[in-house]
Amino acid sequence: MSKKECDLYLTKILGESNVYLSGASDAQLRVQLFDTLDEFFDYSNAWQELLPVTVVANTLDYPLVTTSGRILRLLGVYDQNKVPQQGTMPEIGTLHFLYPYSNTQSMTAIVVKTVTDPIKCFPPHIPDWILPVHGRTILAGILGGMMLQPGTSYFNPTLGNFQLRKFRDGMSKARNATMKANTVGTQTWVFPQSYRVSSQKGGVSTFNVYPTPRTQ
């Protein structure tokens, strides 16, 4: 899916919005689109990025820089053996380890992201596959949010609440699909070998000799 095709889906969504929301300005639609995407990504965790991190000795904090979007939360940290490590993110954008390592090694941080500035970043910088897959859900979120704005020509609480229910249902489906890595008939997806737990010996992660199953 190319960016051009993604932009066509965005044009379609905004065009349909204009049909239902007669009198709405382009600026209002852009802000509502931003709010809708922000809520969608926050709930569904659908936009993720794997960020390489070079861990050095006796250093606990590492800045995380994304290619686009804004970091919401840390999904996990894994070493070169795909073993989960004890990383947290008390401050958004900074990976913090609970214990220092004694040697240099490569790790991967997985973060959940959302959109940035609603006016400057237009069209929004989002994955090209989002609107083709979840466009109807995004449209419902836009319509629901706009129709619940009092004093406008398109104010319609009944239809607005109906659209928001469709939006929330779509977000739940997206969240479930994300947890299963967009597969059919499988259990909740986990990073390869993440059912194992690890310990630190000399600053190098090692497998637990008695693996503990991953709990849901």
Residue 82: predicted pLDDT: 92
Residues 70 and 81 in one domain: yes
Residues 62 and 75 in one domain: yes
Residue 216: predicted pLDDT: 33
Number of domains in the chain: 2
Residues 72 and 167 in one domain: no
Residues 81 and 29 in one domain: no
Residues 73 and 166 in one domain: no
Residue 119: predicted pLDDT: 67
Average pLDDT of the residues of the chain: 86
CB atoms under 10 Å from CB of 6, counted, come to 20
Can you name the residues that pair with 109 across neighbouring β-strands?
51, 77
Residues 62 and 98 in one domain: yes
Distances (CA, A) of 200 to 20, 137, 140, 168, 213: 58, 44, 48, 42, 19
Backbone phi and psi for residue 176, each to the nearest 5 degrees, phi listed first: -65, -40
Structural domain that includes position 12: 3-45+126-179
Q: How far apart are the first and last CA of the chain?
A: 33
Residue 2: predicted pLDDT: 59
Task: Kindly report whether the global pTM for this prediction surpasses the value 0.85.
Answer: no
Q: Which of 61, 88, 114 delimits the end of a domain? A: 114
Residue 123: predicted pLDDT: 84
SS3 108: strand
The residue among 51, 156, 152 whose CA lies nearest residue 108 is 51
Residue 184: predicted pLDDT: 83
Distances (CA, A) of 3 to 11, 15, 71, 112, 119: 12, 18, 22, 21, 19
* Structural domain contains residue 108: yes
Chain segment 39-80, per-residue pLDDT in tens: 999 999 999 999 999 999 999 999 999 999 999 999 999 999
Kindly state the average pLDDT of the residues 23-51. Answer: 95
Residue 3: predicted pLDDT: 65
Backbone phi and psi for residue 161, each to the nearest 5 degrees, phi listed first: -65, -35
Chain segment 80-116, per-residue pLDDT in tens: 999 999 999 999 999 999 999 999 999 999 999 999 9
